[in-house]
């Protein structure tokens, strides 16, 4: 199985939001965005992929976060240094953003305390840096509970469930395998709209095909694979 990034409808919408905020035109009006959806929909992979293929800054999840830790992470991505003082971080971020305005992608923002979300809002205003907050559905309630935050959100995007065409395209792209609509539908039902169960199923199917020296993915074989996964 090849490690390929799958361009889904969700990814296309996500990239469009990123491009809009990264564009200098977003200096006019709010320059915050919120991307939400249950775990497993592909939000993190979309954010990492966009950051790798652009000048955007990706702020990964932390088990423990403080305002200073977040500022140091952003400062490091921009200037390759981690100042000890928050004031120095802010000065560095302001300086780097003046040189080149870059989009900041904050992952698992739903787990951030309100203090850090407010700090990010202040950073957005002070440094004129566009920010996309990414998280599960709880992020919406946090943002909407504070008028100062919600009024500055330019775009809101909800990651929809994985579609049957996404499943079929994944098998074709990553495994050179054409699956029937029945097989794709069964895997989609098993996944409940998330990517991780699709990947787990694909690993099991590939193993079963190799063990049986098969070149075709049959419905019965997939049923057996999924039954073993659920066992």
Residue pLDDT, tens place only, 103-114: 999 999 999 999
Query: pLDDT for 113-126, tens place per residue?
Result: 999 999 999 999 98
For the segment 143-150, the average pLDDT, to the nearest whole number, is 93
| 155, β-bridge pairs | 33
Cα first-last separation, the chain? 24
Supply the pLDDT for residue 62: 79
Least confident of 88-97, 147-156, 206-215: 206-215
Supply the pLDDT for residue 231: 63
Residue 155 has pLDDT above 80, yes or no: yes
Supply the pLDDT for residue 212: 86
Residue 133 has pLDDT above 70, yes or no: yes
Residue 143 has pLDDT above 90, yes or no: yes
Residue 59: C-alpha distances to residues 76, 175, 191 (Å): 10, 31, 28
Supply the pLDDT for residue 216: 87
Supply the pLDDT for residue 49: 97
Supply the pLDDT for residue 61: 87
Residue 5 has pLDDT above 70, yes or no: yes
Residue 63 has pLDDT above 80, yes or no: no
Alpha helix positions (H), the chain: 9-22, 43-52, 67-79, 86-99, 114-127, 138-144, 147-150, 164-175, 181-191, 195-212, 219-230
Residue whose token pair is 């395998």: 177
* Tokens of residue 179, six digits: 């699956």
Supply the pLDDT for residue 199: 95
Supply the pLDDT for residue 213: 87
Residue 27 has pLDDT above 90, yes or no: no
């Amino acid at each position: 199985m090849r490690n390929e990034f799958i361009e889904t409808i969700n990814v296309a919408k996500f990239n469009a939001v990123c491009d809009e905020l990264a564009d200098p035109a977003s200096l006019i009006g709010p320059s915050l965005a919120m991307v939400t959806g249950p775990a497993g929909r592909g939000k993190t992979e979309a954010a990492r992929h966009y950051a790798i293929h652009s000048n955007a800054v990706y702020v990964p999840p932390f088990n423990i976060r403080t305002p200073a830790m977040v500022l140091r992470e952003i400062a490091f991505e921009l200037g390759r240094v981690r100042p000890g003082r928050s004031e120095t971080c802010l000065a560095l971020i302001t300086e780097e953003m003046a040189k080149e305005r870059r989009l900041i992608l904050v992952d698992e923002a739903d787990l951030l305390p309100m203090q850090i979300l407010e700090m990010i809002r202040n950073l957005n205003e002070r440094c004129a840096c566009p920010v996309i907050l990414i998280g599960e559905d709880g992020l919406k309630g946090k943002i909407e509970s504070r008028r100062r935050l919600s009024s500055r959100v330019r775009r809101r995007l909800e990651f929809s469930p994985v579609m049957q065409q996404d499943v079929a395209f994944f098998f074709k792209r990553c495994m050179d395998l054409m699956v029937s609509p029945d097989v794709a539908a069964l895997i989609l039902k098993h996944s409940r709209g998330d990517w991780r169960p699709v990947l787990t199923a694909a690993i099991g199917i590939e193993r079963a095909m190799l063990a049986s020296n098969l070149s075709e993915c049959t419905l019965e074989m997939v049923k057996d694979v999924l039954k073993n996964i659920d066992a």
